[in-house]
Amino acid sequence: MRKLKNNELKRITIEEFKIAKKKPIVIILDNVRSSHNVGSIFRTSDAFLIKKIILCGITPTPPSNDIRKSALGSTDSVDWEYQQDTNDAIDQLKKDGHYIVGVEQVEKATNIRDFQNNKPLVLIFGHEVNGVAQETINKCDEIIEIPQFGTKHSLNISVSAGIVIWKISDIF
């Protein structure tokens, strides 16, 4: 086996990305504080043709050198917007027919392996320490959880987003 060179990967250009058919998935980042996590989620969203990212509350926004370091240019390809209030963003997306899914550890959460959906989808990821706010959880149609088996209580948000986006994008 030989490692492929970048020019052999046949990646699309930013212009081609902009007009490509996207997965009907919107990502909401609910008060995510780390620019590096935000940049990583932009990069993952680019890799899986995610429709849009909505940055809410204290979540940093482009342009930012710290986001740029981990996003590697994906803030130019992935559509994004800022909204101060996460719940206002959710309300509008619900009106537009989206199914709202939080990624959190809650009672009766759906194991990500069992999640099924056929509607346009919103995935909500929360603050690195406090997670998705309870008020936001109350607005969700469903909550999914990534099973974990070690001693830690959670995964890094960008790792969680990578796992969830990879798994969910396969539905569409």
pLDDT value at position 97? Answer: 97
User: What does the block give as tokens for 4?
Assistant: 């492929």
User: What does the block give as tokens for 32?
Assistant: 């995510």
36 Cβ contact list (under 8 Å, min separation 6): 66, 67, 69, 70, 158
Q: Which domains does the chain have, with CATH numbers?
A: 19-169 (3.40.1280.10)
pLDDT value at position 161? Answer: 98
69 Cβ contact list (under 8 Å, min separation 6): 35, 36, 39
pLDDT value at position 144? Answer: 98
Tell me the C-alpha distance between 120 and 128, whole Å. Answer: 26
pLDDT value at position 48? Answer: 97
Q: Report the SS3 class of residue 23.
A: strand
Q: Are 71 and 83 in contact (CB under 8 A)?
A: no
CA 146 to chain centre: 14
pLDDT value at position 89? Answer: 98
Model's pTM, two decimal places? 0.95
pLDDT value at position 75? Answer: 95
Per-residue pLDDT of the chain (172 residues; tens, 9 = 90+): 999 998 899 899 999 999 999 999 999 999 999 999 999 999 999 999 999 999 999 999 999 999 999 999 999 999 999 999 999 999 999 999 999 999 999 999 999 999 999 999 999 999 999 999 999 999 999 999 999 999 988 899 999 999 999 999 988 8
pLDDT value at position 70? Answer: 94
Nearest to 124 by CA among 96, 170, 90: 90
Tell me the C-alpha distance between 160 and 133, whole Å. Answer: 17
Q: Which amino acid is at 37?
A: N
pLDDT value at position 171? Answer: 86
Listing from the earlier edge strand, what are the strands of the sheet with 142-145?
80-83, 50-56, 23-30, 121-126, 99-103, 142-145, 110-111
